[in-house]
Structure 1
Amino acid sequence: MRSLFLFANGRIAALERDFIQPRSWQMLLSARDLEETERLLADTWYGRFLSRGDIEGCLEQAMVATEQELTELSEDPALVRGLLHRRDARNARYIWKAALLGGTADPEVERPGLIPIEVLSAAAAAEPGEEPALPPLFAEALSEMRDAARSGVSAVDMVMDRLAAAVEMEELPGMDPGLEAYARTRMDILNFQVAGRCRLAGMDLPAIEAMLLPGGSREPGDLARAAMAGQLPQTAAETPGMEHLGGVLREALSGGSFLEYQREAERTLLEMLETGSFAVFGPAPLAAFVLKREMEIAHLRILFASRAAGMSRSMLHKRLPRG
């Protein structure tokens, strides 16, 4: 019998109150300077992790605490894999790319998910067939990456993009229809943006199709053909979850800037997590909680980096789907 996650979802209902509320986001975005922004953050849940001036340390500790809740509350190992292997895929990109293309011997990496950093490093250094044990998707990607390295950076990046997409779609979508809708919409949003940028760059149909990732509602070939025909906005408006993004995409293609599209796309994903039709009894609420925390932390990183760079309040409001 499948776990109902009864205790976990009761706990998540309480933890939801720790998210930064819209009014607090408005205050953060309207703060006069970096120092005031930090003071306002100290009044939120993040204050328990904040040492003066160390915003990155604060956000890192906040994510550690969130993932600790995940591992303690999850009654399904697939949920933990589905969330934490995404960071392993990013670390694999940093380490394997450096190793196979002659980059720095000690690339900057993130905190490991489920695969230790030393295992990823040893896999890159080992002879083919002698690598330490890796999850199947990772082992396959490393093999493909060795071949792609002969063709250069773009080919390697394409292999790692496909690994990231495969990891994203491997576990979570099958757990809940709401999670599946979220994952597919997220992939669609990315693919429409990539297709649009490729079209603006004058790329042909095969080149555009090769840049697009599997897992979305639209097949890469269909999306590439829509791009070539100038039908991306109309196709977006006819894609589930993206109906209201068609006009925004049209403006992005017309003006050559995807800033507004990115903001509205993130707003769409955030609304899906906050109001999505997730099964009450099951892993979806816990997954949605972790995904929302990741998005909140990503937006805080943008906020503080923008403040440090002297970005105006109006530009911040254009960039962040908050407040």
Structure 2
Amino acid sequence: MDNTIFAQSIARIRSLETKMIDKAKIEAMVESRDFNDCLRFLQDTQYGSYITASNYEEGLKSATIDIYKEMYKICPLREVVDILALRYDSHNIKSLIKGKLAGIDTLYLTVDAGTIPVDRLNIMVKEENFRDMPKTLRYYVEKAFENYKNSQDPQDIDITIDKGIYEYMLEIAESSKMEYLLDIVKLMIDTINIKSFIRINIQERGRDFMQKVLLPKGNLDKDLFLNNITDSLESFANKIMHTDYFKWVKEGLGEYIKKGDLGSIEKYGDNYIIDYLKKAKLVSFGPDPIIAYILARENEIRAIRIILTGKRNDVSPDIIRERLRDVYV
């Protein structure tokens, strides 16, 4: 593939990156006096028109949707954005299926940033007619209904849809012939599997449950997870010593042991991905900067949500700071 087709898109991305919130601004928000003071810090950012005191969550949702709208406009190949937009399809499908099965309206929980417009998706789920879905997604959505009817466990819906979404992401990445897309999907799969392994190990849920939730086709072999699920976490960390994941796993486990908070594992895994994305700053041609920008903006929105929620609930700056991920800029 001729990666120079991304040249104009990357020029636009470099301009957009200058509008992102840097570490100093994040720190100022964390140290702000209260919720309203924090809102004032956001007024001169690109979130100023989205955020209101009454409903900042809706504003952040709208900002997310607009990121994807803009990326679809500037990216020359739709599948580059689709790779990440599929995660919103996953969220939306899960929400709508659970709503249908419970007999409640869950449309308000959806985020219209996926590859399938929410209004169309809502009709598909209501009618249980998925013929217009891509084949892989259709198979797993129908399977999710079937699995729930057999088990009556809503978690089976999440597990089944997750497997389908990441399988479809891999299909798109492989057919695109863009190595970076395949790398980023496999990195996500490995990170999710490591997080799942640690949680299941701590909760002592065993090999069968690990097999059930394991996402296939990552870089790490499935037997690494299945054959070591009852071993110590230190032993597991040592077995991935020669991989790029060792450092964040070791540090995350260290903080978990010290504080007893599984959120440490999530945080260190997310920071690893952000650190990986920073390599895209050096790329002049290719899809890398587009993928990196989208994920960096999502990370930025999550940081704003954590800070505003903390300020609204009078959480101390130190605790808010602990919950934040690294920033991209």
**Normalising to structure 2: TM-score of the pair?**
0.86
**Paired AA for residue 301 in structure 1:** R
> Per-residue displacement from partner, 1:43-69 (whole Å, max 9, x unpaired)?
223224344544234323332332232
- What does residue 295 of structure 1 align with? 299
Does the C-alpha gap of structure 1 residues 141 and 5 become closer, same or farther in structure 2, counting only changes over 3 Å? same
Shift of 1:320: 0.5
Give the match's secondary structure for 1:294. helix
- What does residue 20 of structure 1 align with? 21
Q: 2:263 matched to 1:259?
A: yes
Does the C-alpha gap of structure 1 residues 224 and 163 become closer, same or farther in structure 2, counting only changes over 3 Å? same
Q: 2:174 matched to 1:160?
A: no
Q: Say which of 238, 244, 247 aligns to 1:243.
A: 247
- What does residue 151 of structure 1 align with? 151
Q: 2:141 matched to 1:142?
A: yes
Q: Does the 8 Å CA contact 2:206/2:229 hold for their aligned counterparts? A: no
Shift of 1:105: 4.1
Percentage identity across aligned positions? Answer: 20
- What does residue 124 of structure 2 align with? 123
Provide the rounded CA distance (Å) in 1 between the counterparts of 2:135 and 2:282.
29
> Per-residue displacement from partner, 1:233-278 (whole Å, max 9, x unpaired)?
2234333244343243255267642222222222221121123487
**Paired AA for residue 94 in structure 2:** R
> Per-residue displacement from partner, 1:110-131 (whole Å, max 9, x unpaired)?
225231334323333446xx54
Q: 2:287 matched to 1:283?
A: yes
Q: Say which of 199, 217, 220 aligns to 2:219.
A: 217
Provide the rounded CA distance (Å) in 2 between the counterparts of 1:217 and 1:126.
38
Provide the rounded CA distance (Å) in 1 between the counterparts of 2:217 and 2:314.
38
Q: 2:194 matched to 1:195?
A: no
**Paired AA for residue 248 in structure 1:** G
Give the match's secondary structure for 2:47. helix
Shift of 1:6: 1.5
Shift of 1:10: 0.9
**Paired AA for residue 192 in structure 2:** L
Provide the rounded CA distance (Å) in 2 between the counterparts of 1:311 and 1:196.
28
Does the C-alpha gap of structure 1 residues 197 and 120 become closer, same or farther in structure 2, counting only changes over 3 Å? same
- What does residue 272 of structure 1 align with? 276
Q: Does the 8 Å CA contact 2:89/2:116 hold for their aligned counterparts? A: yes
Q: Does the 8 Å CA contact 1:82/1:170 hold for their aligned counterparts? A: no
**Normalising to structure 1: TM-score of the pair?**
0.88
- Superposed counterparts of 1:28-43, under 5 Å: 28-43=29-44
Gaps of 5+ in 1: none
Give the aligned length.
Answer: 320
Give the match's secondary structure for 1:321. coil
Provide the rounded CA distance (Å) in 2 between the counterparts of 1:23 and 1:250.
27
**Paired AA for residue 224 in structure 2:** D
Q: Does the 8 Å CA contact 2:75/2:81 hold for their aligned counterparts? A: yes
Q: Does the 8 Å CA contact 1:237/1:245 hold for their aligned counterparts? A: no
Q: Does the 8 Å CA contact 2:64/2:113 hold for their aligned counterparts? A: no
Give the match's secondary structure for 2:91. helix
Q: Compute the RMSD of aligned alpha carbons.
A: 2.6
Provide the rounded CA distance (Å) in 2 between the counterparts of 1:67 and 1:144.
28
Provide the rounded CA distance (Å) in 2 between the counterparts of 1:225 and 1:83.
31
Shift of 1:285: 1.2
Does the C-alpha gap of structure 1 residues 293 and 175 become closer, same or farther in structure 2, counting only changes over 3 Å? farther
Give the match's secondary structure for 1:171. helix
- What does residue 104 of structure 1 align with? 104
Q: Does the 8 Å CA contact 1:233/1:247 hold for their aligned counterparts? A: no
Shift of 1:281: 1.4
Bigger mean CA offset, 266-275 vs 101-110: 101-110
Does the C-alpha gap of structure 1 residues 312 and 201 become closer, same or farther in structure 2, counting only changes over 3 Å? same
Shift of 1:290: 1.2
Provide the rounded CA distance (Å) in 2 between the counterparts of 1:185 and 1:15.
25
Give the match's secondary structure for 1:45. coil
Q: Does the 8 Å CA contact 2:80/2:181 hold for their aligned counterparts? A: no
